[in-house]
Structure 1
Amino acid sequence: MQRVAVLGATGSIGTSALDVIARHTGTMRASVLAAGSKVDALLALCHAHCPEHAVVADPAGYAALRDGLRAAGLPTQAHAGGEALDALVAGDACDTVVAAIVGAAGLPSTLAAARAGKRLLLANKESLVLAGELLMRDARAHGATIVPIDSEHNAIFQCLADGNPPARITLTASGGPFRGRTRAALSAVTPAQAVAHPKWSMGPKISVDSATLMNKGLEVIEAHHLFAVPADAIRVLVHPQSLVHSLVDFEDGSTLAQLGLPDMRTALAVGLGWPRRIASGVGALDLLAQGGRLDFEAPDLDAFPCLALAFAAMAAGGTAPAVLNAANEEAVSAFLQGRIAFLDIPDTVAATLDTLPMQPADTLEALLAADARARTAARTRITTLPAPTFRP
């Protein structure tokens, strides 16, 4: 029986993972469920899936979680805080970990899973952006298996199943809700418009990243670490249908692509079942029913400079990707709160990268220190910006 820890269980990826797990109760079960602060939602999932352990990241929610489990007569043990989560991930409570905590907060538990040699279904892209070299090194040293759950990287993972190295990889991007708009046309974008993704159902932070194309920039850095591909062998194409998730070129001139409907359950089923194919609950792709055409175009780096900033940070190396990620998190949070405008997001990231030059990133402590400095610099800049005209 495969015992799965689902971190970020109340989010869109977590609930999709639980949907797939529930389809295979004879071979797998959710043994650990973890959430940030949504105790009521976590309790509802405990009712549905009866895990052995439930963890709330915010210690203030511990009493409500414990009492709610007792009142429901559930045997699930309540835990709180990052140390408790890391211990469960590293221990014998699970053998597979779905890492779907959003942001840099997901790094400690992701590293704990890698260092414990677990099968790691990685949906927390910030772990690779912030500490890709450390994570991949630890995974190799401890025999962990990393299966990426981002649809694009999961597609590459499938295309590379025969073990042949890629000559080039192409990540596709839907283009988000503002595809085709000029930079000037983006000046009045509101948070409500930015989170309305045309293809994928995601949380607000990831949706804004998709709207700025920073999400794709982070995925470029991820791909570099996951597949040991240099920057000049990675490209991005906008593909509005979101049916071709990635393409891989090989030295013999062949190109392999993975296609499927835009549903995260496919990638999760690949991760949970690999090397077997298991049911995901997602139907087969019917290209004619989807319009019978596949379009591709180059991204507009003038309107969406976050993608270029990510390529530049990857080329700089060291702490630059950590600075990029931290500044972006702070800027996106401020935008969602209505404190800055949409175009202030890339401008804040660029200014923070200019303020904090790259330093060596040979330890986790150095990376976390760079993360902290970048957040301080980004917050300082945000306080100087004029308030936008929209209301959040």
Structure 2
Amino acid sequence: MSQLPARNIAVFGATGSIGASALDVIARHPDRLRATVLAAGSKVDALLALCRTHRPLHAVIADATQFDALRTGLRDAGLDTQPHAGEQALEDLAASAHCDTVVAAIVGAAGLPSTLAAAKAGKRLLLANKESLVLAGELLMQTAHDSGAVIVPIDSEHNAIFQCLPDAHAHAGLKRIVLTASGGPFRGRHRAELGSVTPEQAIAHPKWSMGPKISVDSATLMNKGLEVIEAHHLFGAPRESIDVLVHPQSLVHSLVEFVDGSTLAQLGLPDMRTALAVGFAWPQRIASGVQGLDLLQHGRLDFEAPDLDAFPCLRLAFEALQAGGTAPAMLNAANEVAVSAFLQRRIAFLSIPALVEATLDALPATAANSLDVLREADAAARRHASAAVA
């Protein structure tokens, strides 16, 4: 087997859970992988701690008010790491010669500009930022196609599909993509039981350790809805060829069905390091630190249909994908506002899908033919949802 090429890696969202997993895998292969750029939103102390461990060439704090603290901290630590601040620095470094691989793990719409910059520069893009595809999927995929960028999705579900669809020939016989969902912390509950759930209950995910926003999205099944839209863009699958199954063990990460009756699935323990190792090394394989799957120990695999009455966010996402244009961007924007309001205890759990649906009903979808149009749709949806919360 040929040797894995050396990779200089930018980790955007370095202080989050995906960033931690990425840096763990990188540290296991010091001869081939190096974190050359680390970026965080506002957690300057956590970023400085990572810089002391990984000694990158560059460190970026998106919150420009933290620049002095970053610069002083790097100097006091005796590091040669260059400090940067602001969104433009993220874009510039994503496109620069200081990295050939970018882990795009900034949460929310804030991750879109640097993700697009990396794609335009032809990088290997390990994509964990859902919003880049939900807001601007056609634009991102076209940009990557034009530049020769390689996109490896890092969501466990899309990474599973990526592994099951290794080449264009497999796509020719593709019949159906089936995304699996854990069901979140409220699986099995009826709608009437969800009216009084708290933010603490919603972010207590049974299988995955994630940030609060993504954890709430998992509890509402919006996370799965966004993944449906992502799968459409990543794999060129139409709405009618994408299904969702609830699989509480989170061991089958997704399935791909072909016209000849074959179904391929990717299985593994629920640990992001597997998908990241695939992203860094593909088409080769490297150790990720994750143990193999002992099916005898786990004993059984269960599957059930999602409950769209209790969890209407998944239905809304399918409808937004069907509507096309700016609808997915508005879905995502309204959801971000609603989830933030829920985490601040300003609205109830069931108000999240209600707010999203009301926003989509109020703002008809238009053609999404430029980033400016998408940004305006995003802003309009945020304004509408924010007014409804207030």
Q: CA deviation at 1:85?
A: 1.0
Match of 2:204 in 1: 196
Match of 2:243 in 1: 235
SS at match of 1:256: strand
Name the CA distance, whole Å, in 2 between partners of 1:133 and 1:20: 30
SS at match of 1:155: helix
Match of 1:111 in 2: 116
SS at match of 1:351: helix
2:321 pairs with one of 298, 308, 314: 314
SS at match of 2:296: coil
Name the CA distance, whole Å, in 1 between partners of 2:213 and 2:365: 25
Name the CA distance, whole Å, in 1 between partners of 2:296 and 2:85: 49
Counterpart of 2:36, as a letter, is S
Is 1:377 aligned to 2:384, yes or no?
Answer: yes
TM-score (structure 1 length as normaliser): 0.97
1:332 pairs with one of 339, 364, 373: 339
Match of 1:387 in 2: none
Q: CA deviation at 1:162?
A: 4.3
Match of 1:126 in 2: 131
1:128-174: CA deviations, max 9, x gaps? 00000000000000110000000000000000114311210000000
Name the CA distance, whole Å, in 1 between partners of 2:55 and 2:248: 39
Match of 1:389 in 2: none
Name the CA distance, whole Å, in 2 between partners of 1:365 and 1:103: 17
1:23-48: CA deviations, max 9, x gaps? 00000100000000000000000001
Counterpart of 1:347, as a letter, is A
Name the CA distance, whole Å, in 2 between partners of 1:361 and 1:198: 37
SS at match of 2:295: coil
Question: How many pairs are equivalent?
Answer: 382
Name the CA distance, whole Å, in 2 between partners of 1:90 and 1:182: 47
SS at match of 1:288: helix
Match of 1:81 in 2: 86
2:188 pairs with one of 158, 180, 194: 180
Name the CA distance, whole Å, in 1 between partners of 2:41 and 2:272: 21
Match of 1:263 in 2: 271
SS at match of 2:302: coil
Match of 1:207 in 2: 215
Q: CA deviation at 1:287?
A: 1.1
Q: CA deviation at 1:252?
A: 1.0
TM-score (structure 2 length as normaliser): 0.98
Q: CA deviation at 1:205?
A: 0.2
Match of 1:223 in 2: 231
1:44 pairs with one of 41, 49, 54: 49
Match of 2:3 in 1: none
Name the CA distance, whole Å, in 2 between partners of 1:55 and 1:337: 28
Is 1:353 aligned to 2:356, yes or no?
Answer: no
SS at match of 1:289: helix
Match of 2:22 in 1: 17
Name the CA distance, whole Å, in 2 between partners of 1:257 and 1:6: 29
Which 5+ residue runs of structure 1 have no aligned equivalent? 384-392
1:259-280: CA deviations, max 9, x gaps? 0000000000000011110000
Say what the alpha-carbon RMSD is for the aligned residues. 0.5
Name the CA distance, whole Å, in 1 between partners of 2:228 and 2:380: 23
Q: CA deviation at 1:207?
A: 0.2
The structure 1 segments of at least 4 consecutive aligned residues displaced by more than 4 Å after TM superposition are none
SS at match of 2:254: strand
Counterpart of 2:72, as a letter, is D
Name the CA distance, whole Å, in 1 between partners of 2:218 and 2:136: 21
Counterpart of 1:364, as a letter, is L
Q: CA deviation at 1:232?
A: 0.4
Q: CA deviation at 1:209?
A: 0.1
Match of 1:273 in 2: 281
Match of 2:257 in 1: 249
SS at match of 2:285: coil
Which 5+ residue runs of structure 2 have no aligned equivalent? 1-5
Counterpart of 1:201, as a letter, is S
